[in-house]
Structure 1
Amino acid sequence: MTAGDLEKAHGAILSRNDLLDRRRALYSAAIAFLNQSGVEDPDAAVLDNPLVRAAVGRGLGGSVGEVSADPLWALAPEPGAFGVRVASERGAAAALAPVLAHVADQVLDHGDRVRLEVLTRDSPEFADSVSTIAAGAALLHEVVPELARDVLPHVGLVTVLSGGGRLGSASLREYPGLVMLPPPGSALEAAEALIHEGAHQKFFDLAIVGSIFASRPASGLLRPSWVAGSAPGWTFAQCAAAFHAYCHLAVLAGPTRSFEVHDGSLLPFAAERAAELGEMLQDRQALLGKDGRLLVGSLVGNELSDVVVEDAPLSTSPWRDDPRAVTRAVGEWSVVVYGVGPSVVRLAPPARRG
């Protein structure tokens, strides 16, 4: 598998620009629905902010309250090298406090206690960390340019953390677009973190815009061979996301084979783990949606059976009777947010009949 293969597999579902446009349209519709006033069409600096996206997620989950339209530059004024924004403002520590508490709780579940802090421009380690992250982004553009341009645009904000102990890079599905990492010790360590977590962000965006998973719920937990028996098992969705990330890491491992890797690097094991997870997904392909089967099939080199998707007739669509419903369109594709809950419906263009 090559970087070009990964870029092509993603592009078979949606081009990078179309995916970003559709994701932003979804969040724009959700903000307008949840607020029912104020900013109806925020720009990308708002729609790409992980804290705004997290608030939208809570709102769609039934939480009460308006979504603040805070732009990314409130946390990171500088776009950063190759567009990788690093949280730098003093206010970032307070804004990200709920994220750090959530991470600390997850780490505690695994028996470790951490005291996390956000490094900002006033921190002694910050300047070196930003320089190393920039070097990591540059390395990606040098050795795997297809991956860099395909994945990095899905990273909304990078946060450098201290006090994490054994915690490596991390991202949370509750805060899409946010990547956290300790001060990186080398350009390769930064590059690995960016491509690993960036792949998760790309996968998340594909999942919320496309049909990665089938509508039927996945039951039971899975245990890849490297997961200790005392550790929690993995859900099917976790396995799918990990497979996608390991495919990216396996590609990065090739051209950096002569580099010295840091302790805890996943690059030496990436190809083997991607293969194992790929077999798991193929064996359970009924749990994948149309786009999920296309993606997994492309990456394992084995076309999976297709899924027939029946479109609901628009004349009976329930949102037509909801005066609060909000629609946003990108070309022929549109998204509707409506109802109690609320519900999100993605509408593909009508199929063309020959």
Structure 2
Amino acid sequence: MSRTRVPGLRRPQAGHLLFRAPFRERATGCSRVSAVATAHTLHARIAPAAVLVDERRTLYRLAADLFAPGTELSDNLADHPVVRYEIGRALAGAGDLDLARLHEAAGLRVRDAGVPVAADPRSAALLEAPLRIIAPPGVVVEPLTEADGERFSAALRVVADGVRLFRALAPDTAVDLLAHVSMLAVLKRETSGGVVSASSRYVPGIVLVDEPALPIEVAEALVHEGAHEKFFDLAITREFLDAHAEDVELFETSWSHARWPLEQTFAAWHAYSCLAQFAQACAGVEPGPDSLLPKARERAEEIGAWLLTHEQDLRPDARWLLRALAGEPGGAPSVVDDGGAGIGDGDRFRLGAGVRHRRAASGRAVVGRVAPLPEIFFLDEDAGRVIGRLPHDGGPVAYDDIVAGASRSWTVDGETAARRSRAALASLLASSIVERVS
């Protein structure tokens, strides 16, 4: 996602991560969220920032292991935007995973300004992908680095002041969004081609900002692009969008008549909603010349109204967040449907061929299947615990043993453990993650 002084957003050629979940999900309960509910509070109801980041790291670690068995990514590698880009390309079938390239990119030197800022003179080469993706047509964007001496140092001071201002004006929002910003790069103003700030789902984790003059410009960019980064993590770990989103009619903005696909429309609505709330915290602070803060509420309402008429095209967690931020009646975040008819005593189960899995600290498991184009699934806690009882070597486990282990692990009675285990096994069978052994 990019914010420029000229309209337009191109879709780059490299693939991005698309994950599908094996569960039929529904929203339960019936509650009305206040129209003044803050975005960070609603985000935390889906998953606190630390939980979301850990789940995303778990996903990338599993993905790397699918291509290079035995690979273990440190937090630094799992968070690095270029590492995530390279893994995404491999998952999309755009080439093999080059481990040497991952370690080279992770060696990029940064400076601490409240967020890591790319400082390495090699940044133009090491960050080639995000710089190319966000560049306007015919423009070669260049980052400021330590090689630019005092000019870079001055920009770094403005960035640091902007991060401090963000934390002072909206401390809870800053904690919520900055958790998803792994790196920031400052663009040389004479090469930016009108880009004010930018981020990309193809290279998640990095925020690019035009050479700032004012701390408030940095603070606003971190809200805007940090909201996108939050959405990128939500979209790959929770029930937000599926492949159907590519076929939905386009949304047309009233202010520029740009036409956006559903994913971009939801991301823009989410960012404008966060900006509108941030604008309230900025009372008395003069915005920058390219600020969207005065327009954020109106645009969020326009996009939100369109999304509400197309909410059937959204997955459960996206529908819930849409209604909650809009103050509309709605259910709770998604939960798993009951199921499992036909599963019971005498059944035995094993992992499907080529299936590997890892469990996040939250208890949710991410599962991958080795294939030319690997498939990746996120499981809920019940299914994650069930699959955790199946040996990696493909050995079978009896249904009774699964239920007994579930009862101990969940500290529930046998009937409840059996019901929850059957529901988990049914969804795992439906996606061929596990197999029934005759």
The Cα offsets for residues 72-110 of structure 1, whole Å up to 9 and x where unpaired, read as 7622344x233x110001122211123322223xx22xx
The residue that corresponds to 1:195 in the other structure is: 223
Cα distance, 1:321 vs structure 2: 3.1
SS in 2 for 1:12: helix
The counterpart of 1:185, out of the listed 213, 222, 234, is: 213
The counterpart of 2:254, out of the listed 225, 235, 243, is: 225
The residue that corresponds to 1:327 in the other structure is: 357
Normalised by the length of structure 1, the TM-score is: 0.88
SS in 1 for 2:96: coil
The residue that corresponds to 2:50 in the other structure is: 17
Cα contact 2:35–2:325 (8 A) shared by 1:
no
The residue that corresponds to 1:149 in the other structure is: 175
Normalised by the length of structure 2, the TM-score is: 0.72
* Bigger-Rg structure (1/2): 2
Cα contact 2:50–2:179 (8 A) shared by 1:
no
Q: Does 1:346 align with 2:378?
A: yes
Query: Aligned in 2, Cα 1:123/1:57: closer, same or farther, shift over 3 Å?
Result: same
Q: Distance in 1 between matches of 2:130 and 2:231?
A: 20
Query: Aligned in 2, Cα 1:136/1:347: closer, same or farther, shift over 3 Å?
Result: same
Q: Which structure 2 residue ranges, 5 or more long, are not aligned?
A: 1-33, 384-415, 421-438
Q: Structure 2: which amino acid aligns with 1:236?
A: L
Cα contact 1:25–1:328 (8 A) shared by 2:
yes
Report 1 or 2 for greater relative contact order, CA contacts < 8 Å, sequence distance ≥ 6: 2
Mapping of residues 1-354 of structure 1, within 5 Å:
5-37=38-70, 40-68=71-99, 69-70=102-103, 74-78=107-111, 80-82=112-114, 84-104=115-135, 107-108=136-137, 113-124=138-149, 125-162=151-188, 163-214=191-242, 216-217=244-245, 218-228=247-257, 231=258, 233-304=259-330, 320-323=351-354, 325-331=355-361, 332-340=363-371, 341-350=373-382
SS in 2 for 1:119: coil
Cα contact 1:155–1:177 (8 A) shared by 2:
yes
SS in 1 for 2:185: strand
Cα distance, 1:182 vs structure 2: 1.0
The Cα offsets for residues 283-312 of structure 1, whole Å up to 9 and x where unpaired, read as 111111111112111100003367785589
Cα contact 2:141–2:193 (8 A) shared by 1:
no
Cα distance, 1:166 vs structure 2: 1.6
Q: State, as a whole percentage, how many aligned pairs show the same letter.
A: 33
Q: Distance in 1 between matches of 2:195 and 2:329?
A: 37
Q: Distance in 2 between matches of 1:158 and 1:244?
A: 20
Q: Structure 2: which amino acid aligns with 1:343?
A: E
Alignment coverage as a number of residue pairs: 338
Q: Which structure 1 residue ranges, 5 or more long, are not aligned?
A: none
